[in-house]
Chain A
Amino acid sequence: MTKTAAVLSIIASAAVSYATLFFLPLAYLAVVAAIPLMYLKGWKSFVAGLVIGTASASSLYLIYPIQKVAQLSAIIGGIVSLSPVLVLTVFPLVYGLIFAFASLLWSEIRENAVHRRGKNGVESQN
């Protein structure tokens, strides 16, 4: 895979991630947003998924005044007896992890399919 294709798949994945987070913000939809990362191989797809997922979800806090977000995280943290930082990071982290495993899954499925196709090709040559 070329560098350009890798960059394109990362950009596409980030775009889909933002789209799902904006319009249907359910963490498991990271599975959909991770599809473009299937072109990355193995751990690279995992790491890319983790970074894109966590970063895209976290960056959405920027649509609000940061001081208000901090204030709210202290309040919610107080209610659920968790640290405000954890309250802030829990969704992006879970989303990022689903994203990462989904990227790995798509990548492996694709690799598997390519491998099989390759195998089938060898067999036909024989």
Chain B
Amino acid sequence: MRVKFIVVAVVAIIALSYLSSEFNTLNPVNGLWSAAGNANYTSGNYHISGLQYPVNVSIDSSGVAHIKARNLHDLFMAQGYYEASNRLFQMELEAMLASGNLSSYVGTAALNSDIAMHTIGIPQNAAILNSYVRTYYPQYYGYIQDYAAGVNAYINASAANLPLGFKLIGKKPFQWTPLDSFAWQEYMTWDLTTGGTSQLQTDLLYSAVGYANLSQIWPYYPYYTSNITMVPGNGTVNGLNLSDYGISSNYLWSLNWYSQFATGLNTTMFSSLGNLMKNALSNISDPYGFSTRNTLRPVVGSNSWIVTSNYSSLNSPILANDPHLTLLAPSLWIPVQLEAPGINVTGWGLAGLPGVLIGHTATTSWGLTTPEGATANDYLEMLDGNNYTYNGQEHVMSEYNYSLLGTRHTIFYTNNGPIIARTGNFGISMNWTASTPSPDLVAEIELDMSTNYSQMLNALRLWESPPQNFALAGIHNTGYITAGLYPTINETLPDGQKVAVIGSRSLLNGSNPDYRISGRVPFRYLPQIENPARGFAFAPNQPTVGKDYPYPFIGGYWASGGRAQTIYHYLKSHQGTTVQDMMDLQGNVSDYWASQFVPVILKSLSSMTMNTSQAEAYNILSQWNYTAYVNSTGETVYWYYLSELYNMTFDSVYADHGLSSLTKPFDTSALYLALNDPSSTTWFNGSFNKTSQSAFAREVLFLLQKLGPVNTWEWGRVHQLEIASLTGLSSLGLGPYPMYGDSHTVSAAYVSRQLQVPEPYVTVGPSLREISNPARSIFYGVFPGGPSENPVSYYFSNQLATWFDHGYYNMSAQTTEVRFVYD
């Protein structure tokens, strides 16, 4: 009997012990639960080997860390340690993603992502950039190394109690190097790059609907944007415009920029290249789903504006910025103040990169938006085996080899760039400016050290990729510059005149030297404006310059300008702008395009015989004030009307040609067509009014089925925000929350227009909000998250509620909550 007991006990112990290996990570002492114990900051001393002097760190009541060191070496090392102690898992996951090595962490699920990263060239460019900065900017490279040393000091200190993420995936952190910071910089550059995908999309549409129809839905400059360029006026910059080259802008913009003179290719080829172009699009889209360059996402952007001393109630410049990025938990940003001799900067840095990217010093402030001019151009290559043809001769393609999960992969390069897709003897290569080293981190640290407007401007001479609209404000001066490398192509126009243009509308002939990148826009003639005479300027991704700009943006894939219109009209009517005005404008949820479109819709429906529900929906729409609050029913009626209209028009044409995944035309294209071509057979089946009435009837029926009575159709029921975790695990994210705003409101909450209830979650929006007036030391900010990546920490999302409410933290007047010393 006892022997039986012993046998049973032994078997049970072995079985349970075997089973327990699966559960050891749930042990209460140093398993996953330790994250519950690490949820709060603890005052005290933390030893960091390599520091020259003690560094004081205080966390204020808004969760912002203030790091004070006695020299720059210690400062950046402390920043690395602090950021790693809050964001190590995020940083390493991002570095793995950007390096095309995520599959070594998570297996085959990330294989396509890794291949895409190498195809785009992100890890290769990061390696080039690393060598470049080490060679040409050794002092700054030293700061980046100090940051890495700080990260590694934390990794070593936390070996016995790793952050939650590592425990969840059962991996240990790798040692951080400057290359990891550069890889993440390159990833973010790709995320903010315009072109590359755009030319392929327009070519596919060209072959599907032809030039005339394509021009209607994707004009070179979006409709209704002539009054709202970033640089006011016709496009003259520092005295130079197109007429100085003897070229008429009317003539230039009347040309078909898809045609052979512009590309070296016969447009009839596009239809036979459809699959090749689709493959190229697929190969360079981010299968991990994070990048905003995903073609399935709505066109997204950012906001910024400035008011001059003369226009401001404070008699000194005020600046506002809210960059729109994928909203993640934890945020891509981490707020921090860095103080040491020669530097005192406060703002938001990208976790994994030293310094502050958006913020202010005591006397300067700056913000960023994306200008949407092409810096990635696609070329059609004639291939024969491993050779490509250029200028009538064959050349051998260079190779880049790498291995993933034990399998070797090869990327081939022509003189234009990596081959991103190939079918038989045709290939598409991508020329992306990021293959030229861009010492953005050097520029960023110089901005962090700036004390006046001209120092900021000088720092931006080093900024290359991606070009950004930098809003700048000093004590007296304010303005904009679109800093960065804009590659130019020397085009010969049909009338024989020559002009250097930025980007293309289409694939270019890679074999013909005439279409190679041959220059760049000089710094002096980049779009820029200082102290605009009208008192304000703004750059929410609308066209930066007018049509007379001396370097025409043929590859200008601008945003529709709805936010720009709201900002323009608001600032125009707010002379003597106050800080509160700036805040109100950042919180504005009026849809400008709705205000233009709804009267047209109502008119088209006026002759319709309506049932009770339709009449009720019509009344709601007619009384709507165009604001998209969560309780707005007007916004819901409007949005789903447009979704149905799109479904019956653009979506259906796209679908007929197998192009459903391409970016849909702007609302303004629909508005323009309704007003100017209402009997279009391509888009409206001969009658806008009839199409409009059908769309409205179908919308009402659809929403009655999905949402019930008309008066319950509140926007917040269908429009929801999810702040996702980079891991893709919904439990580690935040939301969904009912969300105000839409794709065209200043307080933006982008949504991909789909006929579903609820709409796909909003995932892109204001990733931070900044308002500053350096002359009076007024600095406000907020972001939708907190500094910590620990999901049970108060500091995981401590600023989220304030962000939701369009509130702010006074960044120079917070009380200290916790202090620690790094020594």
Contacts and interface: CB of A to CB of B under 8 A. Distances in A.
A, B assembled together: yes
Given A102-B13, A105-B6, A109-B6, A94 B32 contact: no
A33 interface: no
B151 to A, nearest CB: 25
Interface string A81-93: 0000001001110
Contacts of B35: 72
Nearest to A102: B13
B24 interface: yes
A98 B17 CA distance: 7
A68 B38 CA distance: 10
Contacts of A1: none
A97 B32 CA distance: 21
A60 B12 CA distance: 25
B20 A72 contact: no
A91 B23 contact: yes
Contacts of B109: none
Contact of B28 (A21, A71, A94, A98): A21
Interface in B760-818: 791-792
A72 B36 CA distance: 7
Interface string A3-33: 0000000000000000001100111100100
Query: Most chain-B CB neighbours within 10 Å: which of A31, A76, A77, A111?
Result: A76
Interface string B26-67: 111111111111010000000000000000000000000000
**Interface class of chain A by DSSP:** helix
Interface stretch (B213-221, B556-564, B621-629, B724-732): B724-732
Query: How big is chain B's contact interface, by range?
Result: 35 or more
A27 B6 contact: no
A112 B1 CA distance: 11
B701 interface: no
Contact of A78 (B2, B23, B730): B730
B209 interface: no
A108 B10 CA distance: 11
A75 B20 contact: no
Contact of B33 (A64, A74, A108): A64
A27 B23 contact: yes
B168 interface: yes
B16 interface: yes
Contacts of A61: 28, 33
Contact of B29 (A21, A28, A71, A101): A21
B731 A87 contact: no
Contacts of B36: 64-65, 68-69, 71-72
B31 to A, nearest CB: 7
Contacts of A57: 27-28
B9 A104 contact: yes
B475 to A, nearest CB: 46
A63 B37 contact: yes
A26 B28 CA distance: 11
A79 interface: yes
Contact of A27 (B27, B32, B33, B730): B27
A27 B26 CA distance: 10
A94 B5 CA distance: 19
B32 A64 contact: no
A115 B3 CA distance: 12
Interface string B130-169: 0000000000000000000000000000000000000010
B501 to A, nearest CB: 51
B793 to A, nearest CB: 8
A95 interface: yes
Nearest to B9: A105
Given A25-B24, A68-B39, A91 B16 contact: no
A87 B10 contact: no
A96 B6 CA distance: 18
A24 B261 CA distance: 74
A28 B10 CA distance: 12
Contacts of A60: 28-29
Contacts of A65: 36-37, 39
B17 A28 contact: yes
A30 to B, nearest CB: 8
Contact of B27 (A25, A108, A109): A25
Contacts of B168: 79
Contacts of B731: 74-79
A111 B16 CA distance: 24
A92 B12 CA distance: 16
Contacts of A87: 26
B19 interface: yes
A64 B792 CA distance: 12
A108 B33 CA distance: 35
Contacts of A76: 26, 32, 731
A98 B24 CA distance: 13
B20 A28 contact: yes
A94 B19 contact: yes
B792 A71 contact: yes
B89 to A, nearest CB: 14
Interface in A46-77: 57-58, 60-61, 63-65, 68-69, 71-72, 74-77
A28 B5 CA distance: 19
A98 B13 contact: yes
B27 A97 contact: no
Interface string B499-521: 00000000000000000000000
Nearest to B732: A75
Nearest to B28: A60
Contacts of B732: 75, 79
Contact of B23 (A77, A94, A112): A94
B13 A90 contact: no
A83 B51 CA distance: 46
B29 A102 contact: no
Contacts of A63: 28-29, 37
Contact of A101 (B13, B730, B791): B13
A25 B31 contact: yes
Per CB-CB distance, the 3 closest pairs between chain A and chain B, nearest first, are A78-B731, A27-B20, A28-B17
29 contacts: A21-B28, A21-B29, A25-B27, A25-B31, A27-B16, A27-B20, A27-B27, A60-B28, A61-B33, A64-B28, A68-B792, A72-B35, A72-B36, A74-B731, A79-B729, A87-B26, A91-B23, A91-B24, A94-B16, A94-B20, A97-B12, A97-B16, A98-B16, A98-B17, A101-B9, A105-B9, A108-B6, A108-B9, A109-B6
Interface of A: 21-22, 25-28, 31, 42, 57-58, 60-61, 63-65, 68-69, 71-72, 74-79, 87, 90-92, 94-95, 97-98, 101-102, 104-105, 108-109, 111-112, 115
Given A25-B28, A25-B29, 14 more contacts: A25-B27, A26-B24, A27-B27, A42-B5, A63-B29, A64-B34, A65-B36, A68-B39, A78-B729, A78-B731, A98-B17, A101-B12, A104-B5, A111-B2
